[in-house]
Amino acid sequence: MKRLLAISAVAGLALVTGCTAGTESPGPAPTSATADDPVTIEFWHGFTADSELKAFEDTLAGFKQKFPWITVKATKAIQDDQILQAVRGGNPPDVALSFTTDSVAQFCKAGIFQDLNPYLTAGKIDPATLFPKVIAEYTQYEGKRCVMPMLADTYGLYYNKKLMKGQQPPKTLSELADLTKKLTVRDADGTIKVAGFVPSSQMYENAPIHTGVMVGATWTNPDGTSAIGSDPAWKSLMKWQKDLTDWFGYDKLEKFRKSFGDEWSADNPFQKGKVAMAIDGEWRNAMIAADAPDLDYGTAPLPVADDQAARYGAGFIAGTVIGIPRGAKHQEAAWELVKYLTTDTDALVTLSNAIRNVPSTLPALRSPDLKKDPNFQTFLDVFANPNSSTLPAHINSVFNQQTLQEAQIAWESGRKTDLDALLADVDKKINEKLKLTAGG
Instruction: Average the pLDDT over 98-105 and give the result.
Output: 83
- Are the C-beta atoms of 46 and 76 separated by less than 8 Å? yes
Check residue 6 and give its pLDDT: 37
Check residue 23 and give its pLDDT: 42
- The rounded distance, in Å, linking the Cα atoms of 53 and 55 is 5
Residue 153 belongs to what H/E stretch?
Answer: strand 148-160
433, burial (CB in 10 Å: exposed 0-12, middle 13-18, buried 19+): middle
- The rounded distance, in Å, linking the Cα atoms of 142 and 146 is 10
Taking 60 as the threshold, does the pLDDT of residue 227 lie above it? yes
Is it true that domain 7-153+317-384 has CATH number 3.40.190.10?
A: yes
- Are the C-beta atoms of 281 and 158 separated by less than 8 Å? no
Closest CA to 189 of 255, 243, 242, 259: 255
Check residue 15 and give its pLDDT: 35
Mean pLDDT, the chain, integer? 89
- Residue that wins the pLDDT comparison between 21 and 64: 64
Half-sphere exposure of 226 (CA within 13 A, CB side): 25
DSSP 385: -
**Residue 113 Ramachandran class (φ > 0 left, ψ -120 to 50 alpha, else beta):** beta
Q: What is the dihedral of CA 356, 361, 366, 369, to 10 degrees?
A: -50
The contacts of residue 421 (CB under 8 Å, 6+ apart) are none
User: What pLDDT, in 10s, does the model give residues 34-66?
Assistant: 556 899 999 999 888 787 888 889 999 999 999
Is it true that domain 154-217+230-311 has CATH number 1.10.3720.10?
A: no
Helix, strand, coil share of the chain (percent; to 5): 45, 15, 40
The phi, psi pair for 70, rounded to 5°, reads -110, 120
- Residue that wins the pLDDT comparison between 157 and 36: 157
Beta bridge partners of 96: 44, 323
Q: Do domains 7-153+317-384 and 154-217+230-311 have the same CATH topology?
A: yes
Specify the length of the chain in residues: 440
Beta bridge partners of 299: 158
Taking 50 as the threshold, does the pLDDT of residue 178 lie above it? yes
Against a cut of 0.85, is the pTM above it?
Answer: no
Instruction: Average the pLDDT over 328-350 and give the result.
Output: 96
Kindly indicate the confidence band of residue 317, based on its pLDDT and cuts at 50, 70 and 90: very high
- The rounded distance, in Å, linking the Cα atoms of 223 and 226 is 9
Cα end-to-end distance, the chain, whole Å: 31
- The rounded distance, in Å, linking the Cα atoms of 433 and 427 is 10
**Domain residue extents for the chain:** 7-153+317-384, 154-217+230-311
Kindly indicate the confidence band of residue 197, based on its pLDDT and cuts at 50, 70 and 90: very high
- The rounded distance, in Å, linking the Cα atoms of 257 and 267 is 13
